[in-house]
Structure formats: structure tokens, C-alpha cells
Amino acid sequence: MIGNYRYYEDHYGTQYRWYVKKQSDGKFHAEIVKHIVKQGWGHDKTIKQISFSKKKFCRKWCGVNCEKAKAHQTLMIKNKSERKIKRESMKRVIPKEEKNLVEALKKKTHYENLVKKCNTKIKATTTRKTTYEKNLKKLNRKIDKIMNTQKGKGTKK
């Protein structure tokens, strides 16, 4: 295509172009162009091309197709957000204390395994073993604290 063009653009960056001047065949041309980016490089791909005898028909055709695409894309975005809200509402809500307890128990088993590993080695570093044991003591205190707060919630004074 020769010459300048004007365009409408939808939500996904697709351009609906119409050329300002007549082309070599004596008609005005309009086209739908999608910008494709792969691995940092982009190129334009013509999806549909059409020619008209008058420029206003080109512009009208581009406008109608762009509005149709925008309406569809808006609907898809709305449906996507509704599905996301539905998924979020179906998830089980875990209290903060329960999450902390689960994380602490995981860490406890992890450190217990590390201490076992240090015991089995012939030349185990004592400092590493003592730090693991300190972390285990901290975690045990944390777990006891969480368990006591959970027990205290159910009783009335």
C-alpha cells in the first residue's frame, strides 16, 4: 500500500486502517492489521483487506469492525473477571494462625531431617548442628504458643 493511513485500535492492539489516498488501482483500501510480537521482535500481519470506491466507506467499515471487536473483547474481559471472582470465592479461607501452624510444622520436620543428616555424617560440623537444634527449639515454642492460643479461644471465663 502506498501513502499515509489512519486507524482505529481495539483493546488488544489490532489496527483497523484505511488509506488516505487512492491506490494504483483507483480505489481506497482498508485493512485489519494485527501486530505480532515473538521473542522481542514484532511484525505486522494483515488479517483482512478490502477496497472501496469512496474513502468514507473505508472509514465506516473500519469503525464498525473495531467497535464490534471492542464490544466482544469487553465482554470477554468481564466474563474473565467474573470467573476469577467465582474461583476466589470457592477457595477455602484458612485462618492466619492455622497457616502459621502448618508452616512451623513443615519447618520443624525439615530441621529434624537436617539434624539426622548431621548425625549420620562422620565429620559433621557441630556449629551447623547446634543452629539447627536452636531453630527446632524456637519452632517448638512457636507451635506451643499457637496451640495454646487456639485452645484458649474455645473456653469461656
Q: What is the pLDDT along the chain (157 residues), one digit of tens a residue?
A: 788 999 999 999 999 999 999 999 999 999 999 989 888 888 889 999 999 999 999 999 999 999 999 999 999 999 999 999 999 999 888 888 888 888 999 999 998 888 888 877 766 577 788 888 898 999 999 888 888 887 776 555 4
Tell me how far apart the alpha carbons of residues 155 and 143 are, in angstroms, rounded to a whole number. Answer: 19
pLDDT at 150: 77
Instruction: Give residue 99's pLDDT.
Output: 87
Sheet holding 28-38, edge to edge: 5-9, 15-19, 28-38, 41-52
Q: Give the pLDDT confidence score for residue 123 in this predicted structure.
A: 65
pLDDT at 126: 75
CA 103 to chain centre: 25
- Residue 34 has a pLDDT of 94
Instruction: Please give the pLDDT value at position 157.
Output: 46
Q: How many CB atoms lie within 10 A of CB 104?
A: 18
Q: Where are the domains positioned within the chain?
A: 5-90, 96-154
